[in-house]
């Protein structure tokens, strides 16, 4: 089995957890390939029992059976730029804070590694957003696992965001911005703006305004088989658009098209874990004497 690793930096007190991951894998004679920059960071922190390879971009991951992300949810979001449409399963180990996607905690690492190697897991297919425009290029990989967000830029003035579903006009949002998220992204930025929690696999987009001026405007859930078109305008000549963690400056009145991507991200769902287990634990549902 060949396992790839992606990560950024983590605190020194997490070193023993990462060491346990590598020890568990190498004990089972697993082939390791580590993201180049992450491998450099691990030098002097982790002892390796055998040699490992490195990778730099998505073209180096052919033949990989699973990619392990070490960090928070933001780190796992970055993995889609490497796995892309390869269907390589991704397992998130949480070295951050909340961790809805990177749900394997430090005390679960040993069991998680054994279950992974014994293939005691299922695949949780997560939909992505594709963003495009006839007026602007958003790079070679304009996809988001969580959300696409339009923000006001360098001003306290609101933006007006004209929103259509296919050819049907929905609304013009007067707000600080607008979030369009997948079910996966419903527990991210949208949740902090009073958006609903949506179960993965629901096949929809949630449209959540950020600090709307109209108090009767609420988040809206629409099927993702339709195309959303957004066009922002305001006092400034441009605004900020975020595709997960990648930001773009976009000219006012640029039409942004949001569609469901033709491929999914495969998340590893270990035995005994589910979306609702994660929600209960992370949001502390049921922490009540009555339960």
Question: Could you list the active site residues?
Answer: 73
Query: Is residue 35 a contact partner of residue 61, using CB atoms and an 8 Å limit?
Result: no
The closest of 256, 171, 188 to 222, measured between CA atoms, is 171
The closest of 247, 230, 147, 250 to 192, measured between CA atoms, is 147
Helix (H, G, I), strand (E, B) or coil at 104: strand
| Secondary structure of 19-82 as H, E, C letters | HHHHHHHHHCCCEEEEEHHHHHHHCCCCCCCCCCEEECCHHHCCCCCEEEEEECHHHHHHCHHH
For residue 11, with 0-12 CB atoms within 10 Å meaning exposed, 13-18 middle and 19 or more buried, which class applies? exposed
DSSP 282: H
The rounded distance, in Å, linking the Cα atoms of 243 and 131 is: 8
């Amino acid at each position: 089995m060949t396992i790839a690793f992606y990560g950024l930096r983590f605190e020194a007190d997490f070193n023993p957890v990462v060491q346990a991951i590598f020890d568990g894998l190498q004990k089972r004679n697993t082939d390791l390939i580590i993201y180049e920059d992450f491998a450099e960071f691990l030098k002097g922190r982790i002892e390796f029992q055998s040699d490992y390879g490195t990778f730099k971009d998505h073209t180096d991951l052919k033949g990989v059976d699973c990619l392990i992300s070490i960090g928070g949810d933001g780190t796992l979001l970055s993995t889609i730029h490497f796995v892309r449409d390869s269907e390589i399963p991704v397992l998130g180990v949480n070295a951050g804070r909340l961790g809805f996607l990177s749900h394997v905690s430090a005390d679960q690492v040993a069991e998680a590694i054994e279950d992974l190697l014994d293939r005691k897991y299922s695949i949780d297919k997560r939909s992505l957003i594709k963003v495009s425009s006839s007026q602007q290029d958003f790079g070679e990989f304009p996809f988001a696992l969580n959300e696409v967000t339009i923000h006001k830029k360098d001003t306290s003035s609101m933006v007006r965001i004209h929103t259509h579903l296919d050819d049907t006009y929905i609304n013009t949002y007067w707000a600080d911005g607008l979030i369009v998220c997948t079910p996966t992204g419903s527990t991210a930025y949208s949740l902090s703006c009073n958006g609903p929690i949506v179960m993965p696999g629901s096949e929809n987009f949630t449209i959540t305004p950020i600090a709307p001026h109209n108090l009767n405007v609420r988040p809206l859930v629409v099927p993702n088989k339709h195309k959303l078109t957004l066009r922002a305008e305001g006092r400034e000549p441009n605004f900020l658009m975020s595709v997960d963690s990648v930001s773009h400056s976009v000219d006012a009145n640029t039409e942004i098209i949001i569609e469901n991507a033709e491929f999914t991200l495969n998340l590893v769902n270990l035995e005994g874990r589910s979306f609702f287990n994660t929600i209960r634990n992370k949001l502390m549902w049921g922490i009540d004497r009555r339960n």
